Amino acid sequence: MQADITALHTELGDGTAAAAIVRDLTADGTIGTNLPQYVESVRKGASERRFNRSREKFNQATDDETRLEKIEQMKAELLAKGSATTSTPTQD
């Protein structure tokens, strides 16, 4: 259980307001048996935020190098979630 709390704090960013709230909730036992589900939910949300940030930066990019970098970041997030394959899609 302590490992899950540590992972959650890492995901939220130690020293953030969200981490402080979680610390307060876990200290008095409010969050207990459902902590793994909370951790998974935070991880998914963080992944979505990273993907969306990369997509926004891609849309704002004016050079191909930045666009390729953002495509790689978005691909990495999708692969980490297991929702994409490493195969190259065919072009129409």
* pLDDT tens profile 56-71: 999 999 999 999 999 9
pLDDT at 23 over 80: no
Q: What is the mean pLDDT of residues 40-55?
A: 87
Phi, psi (5° rounding) for residue 26? -80, -25
Give the Cα separation of 84 and 64 in Å (integer).
23
Q: Which residues, at least 6 apart from 32, have a Cβ–Cβ distance to it below 8 Å?
A: 1, 26
> What per-residue confidence (pLDDT) applies to 40?
79
Place of tokens 């981490």: 19
Q: What is the pLDDT of residue 11?
A: 78
Predicted TM-score (pTM) of this structure: 0.56
pLDDT at res. 89: 53
